[in-house]
Amino acid sequence: MSACACGNTAPKYPELQEILSRHEGEKGSLIPILQEVQAAYGYIPEDVIKEISLALDIPATTIYGVATFYAQFHLKPRGRHVVRVCQGTACHVRGGARILAEVEKELGIKPGETTEDLRFSLEPVACLGCCGLAPVMMVDEDTHGRMTPDKVASVLARYE
């Protein structure tokens, strides 16, 4: 709970209460609840895990275990844009490592990390399935093929 200027308290995660009441009394609701929490907040905050634990009477460690088992769940805030730089074989032989190094330099983060301003998350990826365009990077759903290190800054600049 957090207090506002008028002295009233507002729940920190109002959507969570809706999500929990939608699944009240339902068996096997943990994964759907985690999916809906992530859709609402972009990730699964630690405080939310504690609240789900109380509501479902499931130990928080069990919920962490489930959340870390499935790659779809994120326990840290993610950037507004997700950058994926292909490191598959076709991209690798065409300089994918140099593209990744340039992205890391531009953003100041490594794969698996998010910029402090929450603008970008950088995710490792093996093959983006468009090897004919190697080397390839994706930003969100946009594919950028035949990349060169000097194109990286201008591609990233398109995403606020």
Q: Could you list the residues that contact ligand FES (CB under 6 A)?
A: 86, 88-91, 127-131, 134, 136
DSSP assignment string, 13-45: -HHHHHHHHHTTT-TT-HHHHHHHHHHHHSS--
- The sign of the CA dihedral 87, 93, 96, 97 is positive
The total of other beta-carbon atoms located within 10 Å of residue 99's CB is 25
Q: Are strands 81-86 and 120-125 parallel, antiparallel or unpaired?
A: parallel
CB nearer to ligand FES: give 63 or 137: 137
- Grouping H, G, I as helix, E, B as strand and the rest as coil, residue 156 is helix
CB of 80 to ligand FES, least distance (A): 24
CB of 147 to ligand FES, least distance (A): 10
CB nearer to ligand FES: give 40 or 127: 127
CB nearer to ligand FES: give 43 or 94: 94
Element (H, E) at 90: helix 89-93
CB of 91 to ligand FES, least distance (A): 3
CB nearer to ligand FES: give 55 or 155: 155
CB of 133 to ligand FES, least distance (A): 7
